[in-house]
Amino acid sequence: MTEAAHFVAAVVVFVFRGDRLLALRRAPTADAAPGEWEALSGRVMPGEQPLDAARREAAEESGLRVTLLPRPVVSYMAKRNADDMLVVAYRAEAPGDDVALSDEHDDWRWVSLDEFAAICRFARLVDAARLAAALTAEA
């Protein structure tokens, strides 16, 4: 008997400082996509609302105090290893705080959208970042 794949709910938070996006590189020890560049992201815990997960993940993974837009930018289906994953994307702004990485990542950069597209191999994530960039804090 083969083991059935699981369904994962996740959030991604596109954190902007002006026109620069926070990009994070997954640590080599990460259980999915080690060494890959991404935006701030994480799983939604059982019973947790996606917006609450976005707030929690922003604090856990970056240490930044962000201002999160409550309306999702977009949602899409992706894969996390063999599992189907529903991703709900949000936009956030960060003031001048320093990034404090969790052990899930080993590097970070503030990048332009074109730089993000060049280092991130996940096309849907890049497309979602472009949609997030088109929004403003008043949206």
pTM for this entry: 0.90
CATH topology of domain 7-133: Nucleoside Triphosphate Pyrophosphohydrolase (3.90.79)
Q: Are 128 and 73 within 8 A, CB to CB?
A: yes
Report d(CA 79, CA 76) in Å as an integer: 10
Instruction: Tell me the domain boundaries of the chain.
Output: 7-133
pLDDT, tens only, 60-100: 999 998 999 999 999 998 877 778 889 999 999 998 768 99
